[in-house]
Amino acid sequence: MTKYVYTFAQGHAEGSGDMKALLGGKGAGLAEMCRLGLPVPPGFTITTEVCALYSAQGTYPEGLAAQVEAGLRAMEEAVGGGVRFGDPERPLLVSVRSGARVSMPGMMDTVLNLGLNDRTVEGLARMSRNRRFAFDAYRRFVQMYGDVVLGLKPEGPHEEDPFEALLREQKLRTGAVEDTDLSAADLEDLVQRFKAEIRRRTGADFPDDPTEQLWGAIGAVFRSWDNPRAVTYRRLYGIPQSAGTAVNIQAMVFGNLGNDCGTGVAFTRDPSTGVRRLYGEFLLNAQGEDVVAGTRTPRPVAELKDILPAAYNELVEVGERLERHFREMQDIEFTIQHGRLWMLQTRTGKRSGRAMVKIAVDMVREGLLTEQEALLRVDAQKMEELLHPSIDPEADKEVLGKGLPASPGAATGQVVFSAAAAEEMARAGHRVILVRMETSPEDIHGMKAAQGILTARGGMTSHAAVVARGMGKCCVVGAAGLQIDYAKQQLSIGGVTVRRGEVITLDGNTGEILRGEVAMSAAQVQNDPDYATLMSWVDRARRLRVRANADTPLDARTARRFGAEGIGLCRTEHMFFQPERILAVRQMILAPDMEGRRRALDKIVPMQREDFVAIFTEMAGLPVNIRLLDPPLHEFLPHTDEELAPVAEALGLDIERVRAQRELLEEQNPMLGHRGCRLGITYPEIYEAQVQAIVEAAKIVAERGLQVYPEIMIPLVSHEAELRRLRQLVERVAARVLSGGPAVPLSIGTMIELPRACLVADRIAQVADFFSFGTNDLTQTTLGLSRDDAALFLPRYLELGLYEADPFVRLDEDGVGALVAMAVRGGRAARPQLKAGICGEHGGDPRSVAFFDSIGLDYVSCSPFRVPIARLAAAQAALRREQAS
Amino acid sequence: MTKYVYTFAQGHAEGSGDMKALLGGKGAGLAEMCRLGLPVPPGFTITTEVCALYSAQGTYPEGLAAQVEAGLRAMEEAVGGGVRFGDPERPLLVSVRSGARVSMPGMMDTVLNLGLNDRTVEGLARMSRNRRFAFDAYRRFVQMYGDVVLGLKPEGPHEEDPFEALLREQKLRTGAVEDTDLSAADLEDLVQRFKAEIRRRTGADFPDDPTEQLWGAIGAVFRSWDNPRAVTYRRLYGIPQSAGTAVNIQAMVFGNLGNDCGTGVAFTRDPSTGVRRLYGEFLLNAQGEDVVAGTRTPRPVAELKDILPAAYNELVEVGERLERHFREMQDIEFTIQHGRLWMLQTRTGKRSGRAMVKIAVDMVREGLLTEQEALLRVDAQKMEELLHPSIDPEADKEVLGKGLPASPGAATGQVVFSAAAAEEMARAGHRVILVRMETSPEDIHGMKAAQGILTARGGMTSHAAVVARGMGKCCVVGAAGLQIDYAKQQLSIGGVTVRRGEVITLDGNTGEILRGEVAMSAAQVQNDPDYATLMSWVDRARRLRVRANADTPLDARTARRFGAEGIGLCRTEHMFFQPERILAVRQMILAPDMEGRRRALDKIVPMQREDFVAIFTEMAGLPVNIRLLDPPLHEFLPHTDEELAPVAEALGLDIERVRAQRELLEEQNPMLGHRGCRLGITYPEIYEAQVQAIVEAAKIVAERGLQVYPEIMIPLVSHEAELRRLRQLVERVAARVLSGGPAVPLSIGTMIELPRACLVADRIAQVADFFSFGTNDLTQTTLGLSRDDAALFLPRYLELGLYEADPFVRLDEDGVGALVAMAVRGGRAARPQLKAGICGEHGGDPRSVAFFDSIGLDYVSCSPFRVPIARLAAAQAALRREQAS
């Protein structure tokens, strides 16, 4: 006979803390506390297996009823004093709680005081010598059972909860002000009114039989596993639908039997600061749901010390004991009945990013954890909070709508609808939020000027998202329902219209768009000694190096501050978009011949050289990987007629000519078009000019006595012949520039971003000093998925569970990852000393970082603001690998 | 000491026929003829290695001079009679000819009579007893040497050749009408005038020393290897730049010593019909260049039988001997000196497609070849000629311009600029050529109505190219310099304007656009018994099955006629574009909800069912693979406002609403967008409707007693979860439709067209009955190369030799091929009985077919008109595999 029921009572339990899959989180925690000898009301857990069987077959497995019956008998035994479930003299009351492995919104939570009926309530009144308490418990039970098991809801959108309505009427009728003003008789009458309402609504009597009540509650828990909200939640969070929930049935203890009673929740450390002290709140003379209901204001748990010192001291001791046992900060629920402490739950406590770091570091100091263990406890993703300002969790906020949280942090400012307006207002000292349908490279200066960016379209790797992350700037993209009227200079969302100049706030951690200014807390990483300590352990533990993607000297400085060990990707095209340069760039593109292009390039070279001098100086002593021009030429061209006109004029060309040229450059699938090294092949003079600027800059900086390690990266190579040809070009220009100057260690390699490059990596490696995997583009081609267009179907894919995660956020290990691994093997076989890194967005995703570590890459490169996260993820990956081996 | 010089003389040779790489084609042929004892003037060959060394270092290798000297001595010996090179009494004259492995335009060809100067000419006069002959030879030598070695060219664009000018003056001066009217003295004088002109132009005297003359000619041959035209030619035809040319130096024989002398060229079989007879032409009393010059009209070689019967009979016998020896039709050059035959060259003769087939079949009948050998001799690509009409090679033509030969054949018709006009004029009985910037699915009906299609943009796999090939219709795409003015209804190309209604002719084999109507010959495959014989051998030899890509019942019938063994790809979207259906399709796309889409689909189902009934009937007994809807929805939407208006009206929607919806569906990179199975996932009702139409049609045809083998193919799968979900959908609909009806063997599989699908093929195979590789899309994603946009750089890639071939024409074996092979292995590992085929354009490319055979695919599928070529290629691949094993 399969065991479906696991009993527990103080000092012994059939289950244990490591049986979360079978007993759920709550059940496992209760069992473990019993084993530790902590004061836990006795009870038993029905396993998650029963849920799965019930969900599949609609019936309970054979033998369950008998096991539940035996569990009740054991509970009666443990409670002692002759109590029996359903006994009219000495009734045992129980609580019924769901308990999945992970707590989940939408599921049935709790029914208290189960076992009461018109007969047992009299027994309870006699036992407690408190008739009012007994009928209050009865009233609460019928209400809770009616709500969560029988599903009584308000009848219309403007109705209130039916039980609350009856309670209100009863108070009116009796002249009571507070619930506590109702007498035992009033409550007795109220119970009958509740039951009458239940009969009216459901057509059936309220079940008086305690056993029938119990099975009703058990069935409700199991059915709630399959309710749509819970199903959707599991889909969204990747929880298997087959996991199931457990049901915990436990003897009741009462916090509402008088002023030596109470109930509360507490953390063993402060969850927002991490400071080591019992932190939480309680209510005297109350049952659990009173804390939740919010009708009475709970008091800080520290005050319990003066009121019920013995219970308080025991609670502190229990907390410390649990922390030592689990070696983790705990979130506990307790009830005090006549001065005696009872533990109802313990679980790992949620905490802020700042607390997470402090607790990890403190626990090492306290000898609870080793450095390595502490590192593995830290959630790399959550580190984000420390690196950016964030919305104050206590702040009042009006949510207008929601988009994708493309770049973390929070930002407040006046709404503007163009890059020019953003710059202008920022110059005038205003903080602005730039709102666009989507951004393009021409908006970059506006993005720089803005506090945050909001777009209606685009996904997690859209232009706005990528650029904003690079800038460490809060950004929300793809906001569904956001309508922008450029002409009227206003947006509308969630039924609210916001005009230019009105203030909104963006939450880049949640994607929320908030009305007006909302309080926020500043980035917490500066001067945080715990953070510094943690990161020193991180750097000791990791194998993988971490670089940053940085396009400007400012980016480079930020990257270095966050611990980047070089630049893994410096995109030269961003330099082309600066307003004073774009004219020369456009002149180059529209020049009728190579001579014309060369003349235009001659103007660009000194500007690029200046950029590189500054970047090399910032990164002195560290490698700087510079990618030659990558995007299709047409991206640089003017779009509207208003933009076209001045360009045509400056070039002395007919506007028709410029328009025709632009159309010629227009592509059906620019992502698969004339870009990357294909530009370098067809217009070698462009790459020659860029290489000249890079090498001249390196020479200048080297002559100043600084160490420069330039790496020149050729993008979009798919065939070794392309790289061979362009390598020759780079070497030719470099030899010319460096002739007679200082020795500059120049390294030439390629971006591996096409499946073909991975397949012939051995041949490409013969002419490459390094590979840098461009996993954004590699994901696009391997999956045949345009990141700009995926919004039409990717959300549906995630919802249906067809993809586990957005492949532009977390690396698709089976597909893209397999190609990367293949390329690393192939490349190293041909050139054992080949340097290999990754510079796609995945370089900042902790799970992807672990994968890159496992296949032996030398480094990852990510946005400057994600460098600490990548460093931590790299350390965790190395530690896990060590553990596994 | 490396051997640089290989001598040959009648009966023996240091080289042989299989040394083409070292001796060039001509040198190897001469050596082989000597070994056979055929009459060949003695001589020697300087190897291609010398060319490579000379080209790299600019000097000759040590020892070459001595070996050449020894070669001359051997030649003197073989000629006998005391002749010596440079001897004033008995001078030996030589010819100097280049001879690469493959003949090549732009290279120096021939210098005859080398060794003459003012002294040796007197010896020649005495030896030949013909002073006029001697000075004519001298005159010719100086002229040829001046032309090809010293590079004397006309001085301006309107000048004539300097030597021709002097010759003309001399005739004027002496009153001669023909060259033959000039006396020995006139010619002697002319030689001095030639030399004076050379001195004037080059500043140096004409070299009198025969040895200096010889090295001058050798150097000119080697230098011509590197001239730009030859370099470009090699790049275009994939001939290694390092191969080099050989130089052949041979004792002169003279066809111009009188009327018992002559010179000519001949084929051992008729190169245009394949009939077995000596076919060629000759000139009496002439030297080789007279045939080329075209000043005298050569006579058919058969006439030689009466004039010089002995030489003729020997020529016939030599031809037969060479054919038996090489077991191949030969192209020979000969000279007759005083009735004695001398062979100057033999090589494999070029022939028409028709001759190719006849010769192969005849040679088997004659016992020269086995069936297998004959099959391997046939050029699969050249079979194309037999399957389509072609431009008469003899026809006069005015070439206006050139595009890519996208679909073979030839077509003449009146120019029209829209699909509607094409249909209208075709209905009125006119033949039309549809000219468009590029075509889109909406043009299909116009393409059907037209004789041929011409586009200004697009590559070998553009829409126009793919559709035209499918239709077996002549098509030229991407015509550089073709300007189309839709408003004025005219095109201009090559400086010529062609108005609507004027006639042009397209040559789909060369890509030429010709003015007016040009004579053509009809397709030759019908009723050709040799073709039928050959194809019966083909089908015996091959392993690979061949199917056709066919979208309509007519396509299916054509495919079956060409021997297709099923349909490998039936694209359902083409059915959607029919004018009477497009409205329902647009209604479906623009419907605001699923209900609306279902209603629209209900109209489409009966139409699609009807199509499938007809196709299943045509293909009774054979498998029919049907791909569910693949292209992005926006392709079906109206583009211009004129197109939008009626749709909006029919739908009862605002035109603004329709326009907004269209813009919503617009994609940045449609190739990587919301298409294929992604549509089936997000709009399951579309696939449900299609499956319903297919299965209902199969049921109807099965009920009529015909065998149907439907294969339902899900496109663009990259994750097994997609296929699993859609397979369930197909099975659900099929079970519903077939319930209670006849058993229909339904097979469900997927198109493998994304790199990720290849990488996880083992998992996908678990839910797939078959894989069909869509190598067009797989090429696009693997190489990151949009076929629509590749025109901006792909030509340059081919020119530079970065790609060996257009990867959309010939499969990229190292990249795309590696993925296909990987997927076949992975798929078969998971499901050993997995059926695997390919339905991309590569299925009709012979070299790609060989690759597909080698990796064990079950079938290839191609345009109906390429089915015979694929069958042949499959047979050749199987035979070569057998040979290799």
Q: What span, in angstroms and rounded, lies between the C-alpha atoms of A565 and A560?
A: 7
Chain A residues with CB-CB distance to B777 below 8 A: 784
Pairing state of beta strands A859-862 and A545-549?
parallel
pLDDT of residue A57: 87
Q: What is the pLDDT of residues A819-874, one digit of tens each?
A: 999 999 999 999 999 999 999 889 999 999 999 999 999 999 998 889 999 999 99
Residue of B nearest to A726 (CA): B802
pLDDT band at B243 (very low <50, low <70, confident <90, very high): confident
Residues 6 or more apart from A401 whose CB is under 8 A from it? A479, A480, A481, A482, A493, A494, A512, A513
pLDDT: is B375 or B658 the higher one? B375
Contact criterion met (CB < 8 Å) for A681 and B796: yes
Q: What is the pLDDT of residues B743-779, one digit of tens each?
A: 899 999 999 999 999 999 999 999 999 999 999 999 9
pLDDT: is A677 or A10 the higher one? A677
Q: Which strand (E) or helix (H) includes residue A432?
A: strand A432-436
Contact criterion met (CB < 8 Å) for B719 and A803: yes
Q: What is the pLDDT of residues A5-54, one digit of tens each?
A: 999 998 999 999 999 999 999 999 999 999 999 999 999 999 999 999 99
Q: Which whole number is the average pLDDT over B474-487? A: 88
Nearest-by-Cβ selection for A678 from B754, B793, B816: B793
pLDDT of residue B150: 92
* Statement: residue B74 has pLDDT above 90: yes
SS3 label, residue B638: coil
Contact criterion met (CB < 8 Å) for B754 and A816: no
Interface confidence, given as ipTM, is 0.82
Known active-site residue A839: yes
What value does the mean pLDDT of chain A take? 90
Q: Which whole number is the average pLDDT over A353-360? A: 92
Q: Are the CB atoms for B653 and B693 separated by under 8 Å? A: no
pLDDT band at A734 (very low <50, low <70, confident <90, very high): very high
Burial of A395 (0-12, 13-18, 19+ CB in 10 A): middle
Pairing state of beta strands A340-348 and A330-337?
antiparallel
Q: Which strand (E) or helix (H) includes residue B194?
A: helix B184-202
Q: Are the CB atoms for B201 and B162 separated by under 8 Å? A: yes
* Statement: residue A157 has pLDDT above 70: no
Contact criterion met (CB < 8 Å) for B784 and A754: yes
Q: What span, in angstroms and rounded, lies between the C-alpha atoms of B747 and B364?
A: 43
* Statement: residue A461 has pLDDT above 70: no
Contact criterion met (CB < 8 Å) for A672 and B672: yes
Within an 8 Å CB–CB cutoff, is residue B661 touching chain A?
no
pTM score, whole prediction: 0.82
Nearest-by-Cβ selection for A670 from B669, B782, B801: B669
Residue of A nearest to B721 (CA): A802
pLDDT of residue A295: 64
Handedness of CA B701, B703, B704, B706 (dihedral sign): positive
Within an 8 Å CB–CB cutoff, is residue B667 touching chain A?
yes
Within an 8 Å CB–CB cutoff, is residue B828 touching chain A?
no
Percent of the residues in chain B that have a pLDDT greater than 70, as a whole number: 98
pLDDT band at B292 (very low <50, low <70, confident <90, very high): low
Written as six digits, the tokens of B179 are 């060259």
* Statement: residue A789 has pLDDT above 90: no
- Give the full edge-to-edge strand order of the sheet including B43-46: B12-13, B5-9, B43-46, B245-251, B94-100, B110-114
> Which of A760, A783, A808 to mutate: most B Cβ within 10 Å?
A783
Q: What span, in angstroms and rounded, lies between the C-alpha atoms of B541 and B876?
A: 8
pLDDT band at B322 (very low <50, low <70, confident <90, very high): very high
pLDDT of residue A473: 86
Within an 8 Å CB–CB cutoff, is residue B812 touching chain A?
yes
pLDDT of residue A241: 79
pLDDT band at B681 (very low <50, low <70, confident <90, very high): very high
Name which of A790, A865, A862 is nearest A477 in CA terms. A790
Nearest-by-Cβ selection for A674 from B670, B781, B793: B793
Q: Are the CB atoms for B95 and B148 separated by under 8 Å? A: no
Q: What is the pLDDT of residues B349-404, one digit of tens each?
A: 888 888 999 999 999 999 999 999 999 999 988 888 788 888 887 788 899 999 88
Known active-site residue B261: no
Name which of A248, A271, A295 is nearest A140 in CA terms. A295
pLDDT band at B291 (very low <50, low <70, confident <90, very high): low
Q: Which whole number is the average pLDDT over A670-692? A: 93
Q: Which whole number is the average pLDDT over A677-697? A: 94
pLDDT of residue A316: 96
What value does the mean pLDDT of chain B take? 90
Written as six digits, the tokens of B708 are 């149907």
Least confident among A118-132, B378-392, B817-831 = B378-392
pLDDT band at A672 (very low <50, low <70, confident <90, very high): very high
User: How far apart are the CA of B421 and the nearest CA of chain A, in angstroms?
Assistant: 26
Nearest-by-Cβ selection for B668 from A716, A722, A788: A788
pLDDT of residue B552: 87
The count of CB pairs under 8 A between chains A and B is 172
Written as six digits, the tokens of B206 are 């004409």
Q: Are the CB atoms for A797 and A850 separated by under 8 Å? A: no
pLDDT: is B415 or A438 the higher one? B415
* Residue A693, CB-side half-sphere exposure with 13 Å CA sphere: 26
Chain A residues with CB-CB distance to B766 below 8 A: none
Within an 8 Å CB–CB cutoff, is residue A786 touching chain B?
yes
Pairing state of beta strands A623-627 and A262-267?
unpaired
Chain B residues with CB-CB distance to A784 below 8 A: 671-672, 716, 718, 753-756, 777, 781
Residue of B nearest to A720 (CA): B802
pLDDT band at A481 (very low <50, low <70, confident <90, very high): confident
Q: Which strand (E) or helix (H) includes residue A515?
A: strand A512-515
Q: Which whole number is the average pLDDT over B583-588? A: 80
Within an 8 Å CB–CB cutoff, is residue A681 touching chain B?
yes
Q: Which whole number is the average pLDDT over B599-605? A: 87
Pairing state of beta strands A5-9 and A43-46?
antiparallel
The secondary structure of chain A in percent helix, strand, coil, rounded to multiples of 5, reads 50, 20, 35
Label residue B709 left, alpha or beta by phi (over 0 means left) and psi (-120 to 50 means alpha): beta
Name beta bridge partners: A521.
A390
> Which of B678, B752, B796 to mutate: most A Cβ within 10 Å?
B678
Q: Would you tell me how many other CB atoms lie within 10 Å of the CB of residue B594?
A: 11
* Statement: residue B110 has pLDDT above 80: yes
Chain A residues with CB-CB distance to B792 below 8 A: 667, 673-674, 682
Q: Would you tell me how many other CB atoms lie within 10 Å of the CB of residue B204?
A: 9
Q: What b-and-e string marks burial along A130-142, b requiring 16 or more CB atoms within 10 Å of the CB? A: bbbbbbbbbbbbb
Q: What is the pLDDT of residues A498-557, one digit of tens each?
A: 999 999 999 988 899 999 988 887 776 767 899 999 999 999 999 999 999 998 898 899
Beta strand residue intervals within B706-760, DSSP E: 709-714, 747-752
State in Å, rounded, how far the first CA of chain B is from the last one: 38
Amino acid symbol at B373: E
Q: What span, in angstroms and rounded, lies between the C-alpha atoms of A43 and A603?
A: 81
pLDDT of residue A579: 67
pLDDT band at B157 (very low <50, low <70, confident <90, very high): low
Q: Which of A463, A474, A677, A758 is catalytic?
A: A463
Residue of A nearest to B802 (CA): A721
Q: Which whole number is the average pLDDT over A165-187? A: 90
pLDDT band at A430 (very low <50, low <70, confident <90, very high): confident
A-contacting residues in B 692-721 (Cβ below 8 Å): 716, 718-719, 721
> Which of B235, B671, B759 to mutate: most A Cβ within 10 Å?
B759
Cα dihedral: A281, A285, A287, A291 (round 10): -30
